[in-house]
Structure 1
Amino acid sequence: MATAPPADQLRLLDVQELDTRAQQLAHRRRNLPELARIAELDAQLEDLTSSLVESRTAASDLRRELTKAEGDVEQVRSRAARDQARLDAGQVGAKDAQALVGELESLARRQAALEEVELDVMERLEAHEEALARLESAHAELEAARADVVAERDARFAELDEEAGQVAERRRGAVAGLDATLLALYERVRDQNGGRGVVALRGQHVEGLNVDLSRAELVAITSAAPDQVVRLEDYGHIVVRPEAASA
């Protein structure tokens, strides 16, 4: 049966308290509401970024379409201007003049049709750019909101990390000089039991664990030698007996 100085066994309660606090701080750090909010904003940003990429691509396509439409109109307009200049200058005969008049009429119809196309593209581009501006504004607002939440998260991280550092420092002091075998047993039991390695028996009450001891187990624990390392039968936790340690 393992033994350890009663005073060292009693000190395990301080170590357990610090370990429990460290565990609580780690849990709080992993479950900060800011983390859930950031994840939510990230999902929204991912969707909005995808929409932005599509919208910017569509706007770019419309700008190219508008450039082409403007070029088509300008090409017809330039040709009509050249024909009109030749006609006005009287540089062609009657037959050619008649042909030029016919071509000018055709070019006028062509220009009107192309200008309709140009106007349609301009209207679609204008509407799309307005929608794109709204998307970009919404994206900027989301990014700003995320930055605010990240700042809040980082502030909470700093607070928790500072306290965790203080707890770790206090733990180093608490375990200094402890019986090495006892400490190793405590660490092993704690790992096996979700973070709790030791409980205290005060009278007939087990502190730190909601269990009912049988009469036989209670007698066995209380009658054990003060330096004997006693463990719960069903759970394996180390049982510290403050009364025995102070006797």
Structure 2
Amino acid sequence: MNADPADQLRLLDLQAVDTALAQLTHKRRTLPELAELTARATTAAEATNRLIDAQTLVADIELEQRRLENDVDTVRTRAAKDESRLQAGGLPARELEGLQHEIVSLARRQSSLEDDLLEVMERGEQAESDLAAARTHEESVRSEISELETRRDASFAEIDNTVGQREPQRAAIATALPGDLLALYEKSRAAGGHGAAMLRQRRCEGCRIELSGSEVSALRSAAPDAVVRCENCRAILVRTTESGL
């Protein structure tokens, strides 16, 4: 294939824009905030589970405390009723003895329940403290995620704005090139990453490999409008005054 040397030189401008666009795509895909957000997502899930567990424990303890309080109230009510009957007098000896025994039993039961209630209330205080800590931790993680998302979105916007400026540049350069030369450039770029590369001091700027003596000789004898390609990376080699030929 032959192409005007000026058109071949424009391929370097096109490659420069494509390299910049590829770098922007890579930057967008590898933003530090993305990795941090992935890590924070795991931390957030753990924090949420910890918060749910703490909330569940507090709710269970509150339920147990209400049950014990109801049991204590029931025992107190029954004991008060028995005490009133005892104070009223007029009971047969056997019933009186049974009533006194029940009052003693109720007192023991009440004492046991109150001990249990005290222990549950202490556990409840600890559970409330743990819940507050879990909630603070979860809110802190969510705040960090929100900050990371803000930074990520700002970086995305900056990158996308730059891409929006580069793409018209690429279109203008590509439109001005001959169709067959542009097609070869796109084919080369798809195969090796570089569609075109400057030949600088006998070295391909695409793959950074120095050409062999036979390759240099072939290039020296090639017509100025001949389209030549690197034998290593298959990029179109653009010859300039810096080629060292």
Matched, 1:56 2:55: yes
Task: State the shift of 1:9 in Å.
Answer: 1.6
Superposition map of 1:109-124 within 5 A: 109-124=108-123
How many angstroms does 1:163 deviate by? 0.7
Structure 1 partner of 2:151: 152
Displacement of 1:43 in angstroms is: 2.0
In 2, Cα distance between the equivalents of 1:239 and 1:169? 25
Aligned to 2:16: 17
Deviation at 1:186, TM superposition (A): 1.1
Query: Is the 2:86–2:99 contact (alpha carbons within 8 Å) kept by the matching residues of 1?
Result: yes
Q: CA deviation at 1:198?
A: 0.8
- What's 1:201 paired with? 199
Shift of 1:51: 2.0
CA distance, structure 1, for counterparts of residue 139 and residue 212 of structure 2: 65
Pick one of 214, 228, 231 that aligns with 1:230: 228
CA distance in 2 between counterparts of 1:90 and 1:19 reads 105
**Alpha-carbon distance between aligned partners in 2 of 1:222 and 1:81, rounded to the nearest angstrom:** 117
Query: What is the CA distance between 1:178 and its match in structure 2?
Result: 1.6
Structure 2 stretches of 5 or more lacking a match? none
Query: 2:123 corresponds to which letter in structure 1?
Result: R
Give 5+ residue unaligned stretches, structure 1: none
1:91 positional shift: 6.2
Retained in 1: the 8 A contact 2:207–2:232? no
Structure 1 segments of 4+ aligned residues over 3 angstroms from their partners: 89-95, 202-209
Identical columns (%): 42
Superposition TM-score, scaled by structure 2 size:
0.90
Q: How does 1:95-244 map to 2 (within 5 A)?
A: 95-193=94-192, 195-202=193-200, 204-242=202-240
Offset at residue 6 of structure 1 (A): 2.5
Aligned partners of 2:24, 2:146: CA distance in 1, in Å? 24
Shift, 1:149, TM fit: 1.4
Residue 102 of structure 1 aligns to a residue in which SS? helix
| Structure 1 length-normalised TM | 0.90
Cα deviation, 1:139-178, whole Å, max 9, x if unaligned, reads 1011111111111111111111111111112111111132
Distance 1:112 1:203, change over 3 A: closer
- Output the amino acid matched with 2:218: A
Which amino acid letter does the alignment assign opposite residue 96 of structure 1?
E
Q: Distance in 1 between matches of 2:90 and 2:3?
A: 121
State the number of aligned residues: 241
- Identify the residue that residue 78 of structure 1 maps to in structure 2: 77
